Chains A and B, each alone.
Chain A
């Protein structure tokens, strides 16, 4: 296992696109220390900010408060990245495989445009979890993101496939322009959930203040949620008791696009 320990807080955010198991696994310690990172517009060596220990491996641990370290695990395809502390923006963006675990909080754009793998954040996340970058046609295309705490704006914006579970409260525009995939809101969300959604499923365990362009369809017991909850429990994702069996009110929308998405609200 390779361990990187933050020894000096960057003054401005550190762009560390290289800090992924794919890049580090085949390198010697000296090569890792010499990897380029960008501190603002200045190119620096990785060892100006991190101590490097451990043996070559695709298991990578980053220690310290990395709130200002961006792009951890960018485009990784294998192995495991553990962050013992907080992670900065763009954690696991473009990720294709492997596992990321953050024991603290993460910032905006967690798993943006990812196409596979698992991201687990114990604390809170920022906005745009699993989202599309500005201008892109689609956000996450596959994979799973589990956030234990709260999340910010535009969670799952333009996501196409995959699963996002947010344990805490979520802010406005969850599932904005969603094209597919499944978004679980265990503590509900604020305004305009599912705005412009074309397809996909939003499951909320709390009542939602939906847009008038979402029409109530029926109340039923969706059988697919049994399978889904089994899958999420296998990932040790804490879910409310009775979630798999309860009845849900189904809304369809967003009729303003018009879209064929669905919002399921738990009736307990």
Chain B
């Protein structure tokens, strides 16, 4: 039992904006009052609900491939030494499992969503997530290039496709569905990409990316998954791709969706020499589409490792950089590409990308619909979020940074004209309350009675980067894990899983396809429930 007194509370879910009030914790939950027990004096400090990262890549085969592909980053990474309570590990652009948990918790984040899990390697992902301590986790399964699902969508067998999707979600033991470059990764297996929303995909006669998006969004709503379709649009990273992004939104036909790493999808221009920001166009359209949420996918200058299921894009990026390239073919489900990348402030394209991420965060007027991410580790490492918060909260500092950009870049961006500054209340929305609501996690992202006792206490500091980088206390599930700025203890996190309804007979349809197409036997394919550690079931609410 714990009572926190004197802190200024920011709890946007309940409209509480910097009000000094007590918070009481018992049995890992926030309660109305506690009798005896420890009291934590937070006078002069700021209390936030624990951070929620709606889109990150922290575990699984692709991330492990990236760790192996970049020994130069591991050598330079900050080491975590073995202690009585903590396991050893390495930080850097792709931190090791235990270090990932420590770094997230050390920054005040308590819930993360691993955004790209193929069913085939889901076992590996869950094993790594078990070794990612402190934070609670949820996964999204990759579906928009699964050839069984695509075949059914092409044949118009919507009902059976729904059954298969539901079965696959439960087989992978995940929380929702991610659609990466719909159709493009399947086309990549023919050496092609899918850049036009209404052109048939290589290997199919009538199926288009638009039909995949519309079909999956409808299935997800029918199943009532708590999180809507998590969409990584086609044509990522390419100049002029804003038209594809707008077409993708239209393909949703008004259904709810979460648009991932929007920064990578908001470019104008015809080629790399003319690339410019189209954040104004995209943000003003997005502002009118109330059924959508998005995360920023901002970039910061420095070393990164790009990891995505978007195989064709990664091949292009490899050709642009001339650096290393890893490609994984995940049988009938998806693909994956890995390319280390350095974002440079002196590079015109990178400068535009840096500005677009901030522009979207500043131009989208409803903070409940745009969330802070860097698409870790693609745009920057997650442990650099405080740098972005500082940029959002301080227009003067932003101006100083803009002055360092190449002069040519200034004509291609609108960031210099934006004077908006985020308040602490708004930061609490984009880092915690908003993503928790978009993930439909009623126990996360707020400090009301009944919520999980995940909260972060900061020393007030005008320098947002310093303040958010080093929380004074982090409390996860009622346990104080960070105290006086030091990681004091490690606890196990939980994992959120949904079980959408499906008819068991669907296995009779899937089994022969497996024997025909997969290297793995059907019986070995689903993840056993025992492999999910700290299992926490979430409910589905089918929408009519």
Contact A134 B71 (CB under 8 A): yes
Nearest Cβ on chain A to B490's Cβ, whole angstroms: 24
Q: Report the Cα distance A135→B338, complex, angstroms.
A: 14
Contacts of A133 in B (CB 8 A): 71-72, 75
> B72: which A residues are within 8 A, CB to CB?
133-137
Instruction: Determine whether the beta carbon of B71 is less than 8 Å from that of A135.
Output: yes
Closest B residue, CB atoms, query A132:
B72
Chain B 62-74 per-residue mask, 1 if CB under 8 angstroms from chain A, else 0: 0000000111110
A177 CB to nearest chain B CB (Å)? 11
Interface residues of A in 119-161 (CB under 8 A from B): 133-137
Chain B contact residues: over half helix, strand or loop, or mixed?
Answer: helix
B323 in the interface, Cβ–Cβ < 8 Å?
yes
In the bound complex, residues from chain A placing their C-beta under 8 Å from that of B69 are 135
Interface centre among A134, A135, A136, A137 (most CB of B within 10 A): A135
We find that the number of chain A residues with CB closer than 8 angstroms to chain B is: 5
CB distance from A113 to the nearest CB of B (A): 10
For A134, give the chain B residue with the smallest CB separation: B71
Indicate with 1 or 0, residue by residue over B35-73, a CB within 8 angstroms of chain A CB atoms. 000000000000000000000000000000000011111
Q: Is the contact region of chain A dominated by helix, strand, or loop, or is it mixed?
A: loop
- A133, A134, A137, most chain B CB atoms within 10 A: A137
Residue among B72, B75, B323, B324 with most chain A CB within 10 A: B72
- Distance in angstroms from B207 CB to nearest chain A CB is 39
User: Which residues on A sit within 8 Å (CB–CB) of B71?
Assistant: 133-135
Roughly how many angstroms separate A136 CA and B69 CA in the complex, as a whole number? 11
Q: Would you list which residues of chain B between 61 and 108 have a CB under 8 Å from chain A?
A: 69-73, 75
Nearest CB on B from A61, distance (A): 30
Q: Which residues of A contact B75 (CB under 8 A)?
A: 133, 135
* B324 nearest CB neighbor, chain A only: A135
Which residues, 205 to 255 on A, are CB-close (under 8 Å) to B? none
Please measure, in the bound complex, the distance between the C-alpha atom of A135 and the C-alpha atom of B305, giving whole angstroms.
13
Instruction: Report B-chain residues with C-beta under 8 Å of the C-beta of A137.
Output: 72, 323
Q: How far is the CB of B324 from chain A (nearest CB, A)?
A: 8
| Residues of the B chain whose Cβ atoms lie less than 8 Å from the Cβ of A136 | 72
A137 to B70, CA, bound (A): 10
The answer for the CA separation of A134 and B72 in the assembled complex, in Å, is 7
8 Å CB contacts to B: which residues of A95-113? Answer: none
Give A133 to B73 CA distance when docked, in angstroms: 11
Complex Cα gap A137–B341 (Å)? 11
Alpha-carbon separation in the docked complex, A23 to B323 (Å): 36
Distance, CA A141 to CA B73, complexed state (A) = 19
A133 to B70 Cα, complex, angstroms: 11
Q: Which residue of B lies closest to A198 (CB)?
A: B322
CA distance A202 to B73 in the complex (A): 30
- Taken together as a complex, chains A and B put the C-alpha atoms of A137 and B322 apart, in Å, by 10
CB-CB under 8 A from B324, the residues of chain A are 135
Asked whether, in the complex, the Cβ of A135 is within 8 Å of the Cβ of B70, the reply is yes
Chain B: minimal CB distance from A176 (Å): 15
Assembled-state Cα–Cα distance A89/B75 (Å): 17
CB distance from B428 to the nearest CB of A (A): 39
A137 to B75, CA, bound (A): 13
Q: How far is the CA of A176 from the CA of B167 in the complex (A)?
A: 50
How far is it, in angstroms, between the C-alpha of A167 and the C-alpha of B97 when the chains are bound? Answer: 47
Give the shortest distance, in Å, between B305 (CB) and chain A (any CB). 11
Contacts of A135 in B (CB 8 A): 69-73, 75, 324
8 contacts between A and B (CB under 8 A): A133-B71, A133-B72, A133-B75, A134-B71, A135-B70, A135-B71, A135-B324, A136-B72
Chain B residues with a Cβ under 8 A of chain A: 69-73, 75, 323-324
**Which residues of A pack against B, CB within 8 Å?**
133-137
Q: Beyond the given A133-B72, A135-B72, A137-B72, could you list 12 further A-B residue pairs with CB under 8 A, ordered by the A residue number?
A: A133-B71, A133-B75, A134-B71, A134-B72, A135-B69, A135-B70, A135-B71, A135-B73, A135-B75, A135-B324, A136-B72, A137-B323
Listed from nearest, the 7 A-B pairs whose CB atoms lie closest are A135-B71, A135-B72, A136-B72, A134-B71, A135-B70, A133-B72, A133-B75
